[in-house]
Structure 1
Amino acid sequence: MKRSSDTRLTPRRAGMIDRRSAIGISGAVLAICNFTPWTISPSRSEEQGVKTMNQYAANNKTIGEAVGGGGLLVVAQWEAKEGQADKVAAILDSFLPEAQKDPGAKLFLIGRNKDNPAQFLFYELFRDEAALKAHQESGYFKTYIAGQALPLLAKRERAQYALL
């Protein structure tokens, strides 16, 4: 009897990714890109202090609770202009606790690339399109992001996704 050499796994639904897989893939992408979603620090050195995002958690939701019921996922990548990365990090340090308290934000994480501290990654989950719009029209967004951070950026990319 001849054994089959075809060891491919067949997905449950071709072309579809479930929520658990999406979260796992996101974690893997963050790890591969060498981003640290759990911390943001004004500089690469430990001596100047690393602030953990847990300090700013508005609540104690699990990832599963946060993604429950779907939502609008926004992923953004920033790159600071030459010599501006620490200023951007300081602005984000003030912005992050406000963003995490936003009632329409189900999950809000910011990471800084460990190998290139001028690069930042945002992983934001909003209740819906209206919640994202309210976030962008908030006073803290206009002050920290539009008013202070955006002029310091060389690059800003954003994409929106609907959770499956």
Structure 2
Amino acid sequence: MQGNGLTFEELNDGFVVAINIEARPGEEDAVGAILAGLVAPTMAEPGVKLFRPYRSPKNPGHFFLIELYRDETAWGAHQETEHFKTAIAELVPRASRRERVPFVPYTSA
């Protein structure tokens, strides 16, 4: 078993979104708090397998998120939640860059 009670195979099957965020100068801690506040409500969504933000130890204004959903529909459902909409409204003005890249598995584990 791995994190969230899922096996390695289950964690490697689904719809992945990799997100890079750069905070505007002076907004680093606010962006970090917004992302931290998304973890619990996002992990409570039925189609979410993993939602994990990371922060660069060398540049505290750089953040990376890995999101793993059951499928692309679950990712779409996440974007319709109130916690997501509220967080994005707070985050976007504080970020100088936000890049989201979806991925799907193409080989077996």
Normalising TM by the smaller chain, what interval? 0.7 to 0.9
5+ residue gaps, structure 2? none
Tell me the residue number matched to 1:45.
none
The within-5 A match list for 1:1-164 is: 60-62=4-6, 64=8, 66-67=10-11, 70-144=13-87, 146-164=88-106
Cα offset, 1:159, TM superposition: 0.7
Cα offset, 1:105, TM superposition: 0.9
Which amino acid is 2:11 matched to? V
Cα offset, 1:60, TM superposition: 3.6
C-alpha spacing 1:72/1:156, structure 2 compared with 1 (3 Å): same
CA distance in 2, matches of 1:129, 1:60: 19
TM-score normalized by structure 2?
0.87
State which structure, 1 or 2, has the greater radius of gyration over its C-alpha atoms.
1
CA distance in 2, matches of 1:108, 1:64: 16
C-alpha spacing 1:60/1:160, structure 2 compared with 1 (3 Å): closer
TM-score normalized by structure 1?
0.59
CA distance in 2, matches of 1:135, 1:65: 23
SS of 1:78's partner is strand
C-alpha spacing 1:63/1:78, structure 2 compared with 1 (3 Å): farther
Matched residue count: 104
Which amino acid is 2:104 matched to? A
Which amino acid is 1:109 matched to? R
CA distance in 1, matches of 2:34, 2:53: 12
SS of 2:5's partner is coil
CA distance in 1, matches of 2:6, 2:54: 18
Deviating runs (4+, > 2 A) in structure 1? Answer: none
* Higher RCO structure (Cα 8 Å, ≥6 apart): 2
Cα offset, 1:97, TM superposition: 1.0
5+ residue gaps, structure 1? 1-58
